[in-house]
Amino acid sequence: MHNLRPIHSIEDIPTKYQNTPIGLLLEFHNLNKKPALFEDAQLLIGMCIDNRKQLNLPENFAYVLRSPGANFDQDAFAISYAVLVGEVRYIALIGHNDCGMVQLAHKRETFLKGLEEVGNWEKGKAIEFYESNLIEYGLENEIDILIRQATEFRGLYPKVITVPMLYRVEDKKLFLIENN
């Protein structure tokens, strides 16, 4: 089980994250901390492509990778690049509620109709494209995938701190996802 931890003040940020890029991300976004100057990226943020999700971040602060459903199973190289070449030691994986990728399985007809109408795809090819990507990108829920990926990244890069978070679209705030 998991718990969503709201961040309304500095005291809500766990001590282990205070004065780290994770704590700063929460301060900049949730607490409207005044932007600071950064010469180098301090962390990698992986988030969904959803247009309702915009972060308040200072310039140069973060590398940002976006993928439908914050699913980076196909982007191991991009993540490795940021970690190894960009020398970041923190990763924030940010999912959000009401994510379209969770409802992907219910959008079969819309998707197939779109491929036929917009893409002029022949039906069999459209079905194959949809079904194979549903396995890749469809999510059971917004949070389990973040926890699973965080566990994978920690295994790949033990010296990198990976933290899953949820962005709530109603109030545009970040919550820490904590395992109970």
3-class secondary structure per residue, the chain: CEEEEECCCHHHCCHHHCCCHHHHHHHHHHCCCCCCCCCCCCEEEEECCCCCCCCCCCCCCEEEEECHHHCCCCCHHHHHHHHHCCCCCEEEEEEECCCCCCCHHHHHHHHHHHHHHCCCCCHHHHHHHHHHHHHHHCCCCCCHHHHHHHHHHHHHCCCCEEEEEEEECCCCEEEEEEEC
- Candidate residues 7, 57, 92, 99; the one interacting with Zn ion per rule CB under 5 A: 99
Nearer Cβ to Zn ion, position 25 or 166?
A: 166
Least Å distance, CB 99 to Zn ion, is: 3
Minimum distance from CB of 112 to Zn ion (Å)? 21
Does position 145 interact with Zn ion (CB under 5 A)? The reply is no
**Per CB under 5 A, does 104 bind Zn ion?**
no
Nearer to Zn ion, 27 or 50 (CB): 50
Q: Given the complex with Zn ion, which of 3 and 141 has the nearer CB atom?
A: 141
Interface residue list for Zn ion (CB under 5 A):
48, 50, 99
